[in-house]
Amino acid sequence: MAIDRTTVRHVARLARLALTAEEEERTAAQLGHVLEYIERLEAVDVSGIEPLSFAGDASEAEAVMREDQVRPGLPRDKVLAEAPEQDGSAFVVPRILE
Amino acid sequence: MSVHDWEPVIGLEVHAQLLTRSKIFCSCSTAFGAPPNTQVCPVCLGLPGALPALNRGVVDMAIKAGKAFGCRIAERSVWARKNYFYPDLPKGFQISQYELPICKGGAVPVPQPDGGVRKVALTRIHLEEDAGKNVHGSTGSQVDLNRSGVPLVEIVGEPELRSAEEASEYLKALRLALIYLGINDGNLEEGSFRCDANVSVRRKGSEKLGTRVELKNINSFRFVRQAIEHEIERQVAAIERGEKVVQETRLFDNEKGETRPMRTKEEANDYRYFPEPDLPPLVVSPEWLGKVQVPKLPHERMAELVAAGLPATDARTLTADPKLVELHARIVEAAGPEAGRRAANVVTGEVARLVNEGGLDLSAPKFQPAQIAEVFRLQDKGTLSSTAAKDVLAEVLRTGKAPAQIVQEKGLAQVSDESALETVVDGVIARSPTEVEKYKAGKKNLLGFFVGQAMKELKGKGNPGVLNALFKKRLD
Amino acid sequence: MNSSLLPLGELARALERGEARPSAVLEECLSRTARLDGKVHAFLRLTEEQARAAAKAADDRRARKAPLSPIDGVPVGLKDLFCQEGVETTAGSRILKGYHPPYDATVVRKLREAGAVLVGKTNMDEFAMGSSTENSAYGPTRNPWDLERTPGGSSGGSAAAVAARFVPGTLGTDTGGSIRQPAALVGCVGMKPTYGRVSRYGVVAFASSLDQVGPFAQDVRGVALLLRTIAGRDPNDQTSSLRPVPDYDAELEKSVRGLTIGVPKEYFGEGLDPAVEKSVRAGIAALEREGCTVRPISLPNSPHAIATYYLVATAEASSNLARYDGIRYGYRAQAGGSLLELYEKTRAAGFGAEVKRRILLGTYALSAGYYDAYYLRAQKIRTLIRRDFDQAFAAGVDAVVSPTSPWAAFRLGEKVDDPLAMYLNDIYTVPVNLAGLPGISVPSGFTQAGLPIGMQLVGRPFEEGTLLRLARAAERALALPHRLPPLLERS
Ligand SMILES: [Mg+2]
Ligand SMILES: [Zn+2]
């Protein structure tokens, strides 16, 4: 299945990835290639089959829940230590327009 | 044509913060008002490698709501990721519920002025995590993630509301119900109870719905009415100008009192929902479901009070505030069922007044409800005159002192003991020979004069009934 | 022979008998690494100071005959996606360059508590996306058996570090074969436990429903000891199982007589290198000699695994990698004005080509209109793949045996430009992740050219014990001549 550059551009925007024109071109080709390979799945009969959406042991689902108890988090200096931009109390980003 | 030829169709989505101690997927505190980024951990910061760990308490509260509103509660519901980029969303996705929410159906009971109850149907109730807060400055925006991961229930109502008035009635009823259930604090200002409205209009009588506009950021009941009314007018005007209503999200501007389109155009917001692989399905066994206790809702308490013989007006005043209705119940508990009305008078009268004057905080009262019952008892015994009882009550509410002690200190007790009163009576008779003559000659109305004299001597603390009887006994 | 060359299982015995001292072992490891890692590039960074301190403490405990565990004092390397408090953790990506996590992954904590000596972080394909370790932002790792070839991936650094005897044991992660395939390509033992057997908390995520942490070592016993240390329930990972962890070591030498081995025809088809097939058949014969019954079986849906995998894994990855936005940590691009620009430039410059490719594929597979056709359908086929295994197990098969990889180590650059060819590396390992089952790769021999070959064993959920017993039996029966990579013999 071929995939055009408009689609690639839309998907790249959803994924917040800036692509150069040349990358768009290559991505369109490579994704098309992979999707062609994936097309083989259309032949598989999945009627009445439940998706395997949880890979673990669902029978333990109720037992593993956490009790509602507060434990201290991270000290703020550690919270902000790795931030590219911060003002001592918060992370800083370019002004957001609503 | 005018607004009256059009029928508004309104559906509300409420996001209510659940009153758990810790967040939904980590052990950080949910307390409001802490300094920015001081209640965060690897999980709610979305650090590499962190994983969500579901808080059982959150599920308990969702079950409470589901049971109270008569929803179908799923034995197995599924967590889903809602993917979008925003600085207050650390993981780049919100853990929510999509195809399989924990609650479906049900209805919110909305008490009507006529005393009846209207049921507004619900589509669903689902659980999700709150996002952090962006503070927008002139140069940049600051991100505080204390609120990231605070548990929310999203309560989605059917588009059954037909006016701004109905909408705000529904919201008030829903808010009060959640407070009664003890799962939300109903604080709109702090954003723990938030409302979005879907509004469309159609010609009266027409069946098909108009294009709907989503109103966001409505944070007070006044604004709910304003925002919806303004939006209805805007849509009607547009249609009548021959324009089309565009499907969009609009923000309500408190200052201007109008709505404006959101400037951030999410690319046809494609959230790419898919089941959250880091969490097991949300399983609620029938045993668990059975164990969850559901407190009574306002309209149920109201019905009980009326059935117990209270006037509807008192019942309404009491149930409008869970603290008042609770206090009333505790007083009746101590004073006995027949004291229901009397307790209501005190709570809706003296208590309500003191609360409004700020002289009393019912979340931390100094007094015990039983002490109010005790005042009733003293009055019935005759120890207190009705006026004295009022004073003692006021003092009890203010100080929480034992009524008996107050009576002592203020010397408010009535003298009803005959032997104590006889000497006074005899003294009065001895001092007033002429009046005694006249009385005996038939001027019976002088009895009041004798009692008055005795009262003067007793500084008003004599029991008038007893004195009357004594004078009669002596003189007749 | 100096003790740092011993396989982990034997080293543990030597330490127990007092024939080796943790600090001495560590120094040998560090000097060998210093001498040879310039050629191999297995490690991204070493934490020598912490390691020496930890080894010193272990010396005392060993001297007092009060070890914390059988691996007390054993040097261990960590794939660079295990968060270690205060130690740079990059997941092989530029976007996490210089990132120092404020917390320990659960498995890191467990290793510490067992007295393991953590020596450093090993190289990997960026965010574990790859099968050759060529996708590392910090340069490829080379195969100690032939420096012109890759060690496989994505845990190539962890595999090479063990093969080159830099450390007796390492941890990796396996999402589609990232432990088993490199183990096979460098000739060591590597295990991917049952999904949920080991906590993923603090492990940088690739595909949440497929990722699983597992050990590398020269011998099966070493893998058993490491697995025992890291396995078990973790309240911070609600996908981790409540089941108790058995003492794998105690079971190890038990006979495998009477166990049934299933040989799936789909795993011996075209594309399989004859030399690899020959070696694996020899491994199967060895198990037969040990008393196993061998039976042909069919796993008809396994051929769909690669296509299914590339939908499920990329979809989950596209979401898991959304957090790398240049706001709270990691790389941020110099962007003018807008927030959108900041996001797009940061992620464009921070991620490598393969990672971007997979994020885009995954985003596409989840986007409006495609979800049912791609992601949902893939998850249903996953059920079919799992069902095939369940049926085999229900029919009395105790383990499924196959090659780990269709070929031995390939040359650097040989497959980088052809994503699909690279994806086919994992044709035999991917179905196991999709089914959530335990799998192990154990050496079965060498090619003419002297390149290692691995045999894969796949078991019932949470039956790691059985797999380890079978792997140990093969190890014993094959009795491969003790060979060191030429790299070491030369030195
Ligand atoms: Mg919501
Ligand atoms: Zn937290």
How confident is residue B268, by pLDDT bands cut at 50, 70 and 90?
low
Encoded tokens for C109? 């904590």
Contact residues, chain B, for C351 at CB < 8 Å: none
Instruction: For residue C104, give the chain B residue with the closest CA.
Output: B49
Distance B463 CA to ligand 1 centre (A): 67
B68 and B100 in a single domain? The answer is yes
Q: Do the Cβ atoms of B131 and B86 come closer than 8 Å?
A: yes
Looking at C4, C23, C178, C279, which residue is catalytic?
C178
pLDDT at B264: 55
Residue with tokens 């060819």: C421
Q: Which among C191, C189, C218, C214 has a CA at the least distance from the CA of C203?
A: C214
Say if residue B319 is in the same domain as residue B180. Answer: no
Q: Using CA atoms, how far apart are residues C361 and B356, in angstroms rounded to an integer?
A: 62
Question: Greater confidence, A19 or C420?
Answer: A19
Span B86-98, pLDDT tens digits: 999 999 999 999 9
In B, minimum Cα distance to C210 occurs at B277
- Tell me which residue has tokens 């409006």: C368
Beta carbons within 8 Å of B453's beta carbon, 6+ residues apart: B428, B431, B432
Contact C76, C55 (CB under 8 A): no
Q: Determine, for residues C419 and A41 on separate chains, whether the beta-carbon distance falls below 8 Å.
A: no
Q: Looking at the structure, do residues B225 and B98 belong to the same domain, yes or no?
A: yes
pLDDT at A98: 58
Say if residue B353 is in the same domain as residue B256: no
Count of domains for chain B = 3
Q: Within this chain, do residues B287 and B197 fall inside the same structural domain, yes or no?
A: yes
Burial B202-214 (b: 16+ CB within 10 A, else e): beeeeeeebebbb
B338 shares its domain with B455: no
The rounded percent of chain B whose pLDDT value lies above 70 is: 98
Check whether residue B229 and residue B142 sit in a common domain: yes
More confidently predicted of B206 and C170 = C170
Cα distance between residue C204 and residue C91, in whole Å:
7
Name the strand (E) or helix (H) holding B124: strand B117-129
Q: Is a pLDDT exceeding 60 seen at residue B327?
A: yes
Q: Is residue B265 predicted with pLDDT exceeding 60?
A: no
Please answer yes or no on whether C238 and B280 come within 8 Å at the CB atom: yes
Ligand index nearest the alpha carbon of residue B94: 1
Question: What is the pLDDT averaged over residues B258-278?
Answer: 81
pLDDT, one tens digit per residue, over C52-102 is: 999 999 999 999 999 999 999 999 999 999 999 999 999 999 999 999 999
pLDDT band at B462 (very low <50, low <70, confident <90, very high): confident
Of C327, C359, C361, the CB nearest to A34: C361
B317/B298 Cα distance (integer angstroms): 11
pLDDT at B109 over 80: yes
Tell me, what's the pLDDT at B412?
73
Q: Is A22 helix (H, G, I), strand (E, B) or coil?
A: helix
- Closest of C234, B226, C437, C13 to residue A56, by C-alpha: C437
Print burial letters for C259-285: b (CB count within 10 Å at least 16), e (below 16).
Answer: bbbbbbebbbeeebeebbeebbbbbbe
Which residue reads 């999945």 in tokens? Answer: A46
C4 included as an active-site residue = no
State the pLDDT at residue C368: 87
Residue C285, chain B, CB below 8 Å: the answer is no
Among A31, A45, A57, A59, pick the best mutation site for testing chain C contact (most C Cβ within 10 A): A57
Strand order in the sheet with C439-446: C43-46, C117-122, C75-79, C169-173, C213-217, C189-192, C439-446, C452-459, C399-403, C260-264, C293-297
Same domain, B16 and B108: yes
Per DSSP (E only), the strands in C85-158 are: 117-122
Residues of A in contact with C372 (CB under 8 A): none
Of B368, B389, B410, which marks where a domain is finished?
Answer: B410
Reported residue count of chain A is: 98
The pLDDT of residue B423: 86
- pLDDT, mean over chain B: 91
Question: In the predicted model, is pLDDT for residue B473 greater than 90?
Answer: no
pLDDT given for residue A96 in this prediction: 80
Range of the domain at B279: 3-291
Residue that is last in its domain, among B291, B318, B334: B291
Residue indicated by tokens 């927008």: B136
| Residues B431 and B339 grouped into a single domain | no
My answer on whether B121 and B78 are in the same domain is yes
Phi, psi of B107 (to 5 degrees): -160, 150
C96 and B CB contact within 8 Å: yes
**Do B243 and B149 lie in a common domain?**
yes
pLDDT digits (tens, 9 = 90+) for B363-381: 888 999 999 999 999 888 8
State the complex-level ipTM: 0.97
- Say yes or no to pLDDT of B21 above 90: yes
Ligand nearest to the CA of B214: 1
pLDDT of residue C490: 62
Nearest one of C363, C385, C368, C239 to C309, comparing CA atoms:
C385
Is C444 labeled as catalytic in the residue annotation? no
> Are B40 and B101 part of one and the same domain?
yes
Tell me if A97 and B283 make a contact (CB, 8 A cut-off). Answer: no
Among B291, B322, B342, give the residue marking a domain's end.
B291
Q: What is the CATH number of the domain that holds B424?
A: 1.10.10.410
CA dihedral B416, B419, B420, B422 (to 10 degrees): 100
- If phi > 0 it is left, if psi is from -120 to 50 it is alpha, else beta; for residue B250 that is beta
User: What does chain C come to in residues?
Assistant: 491
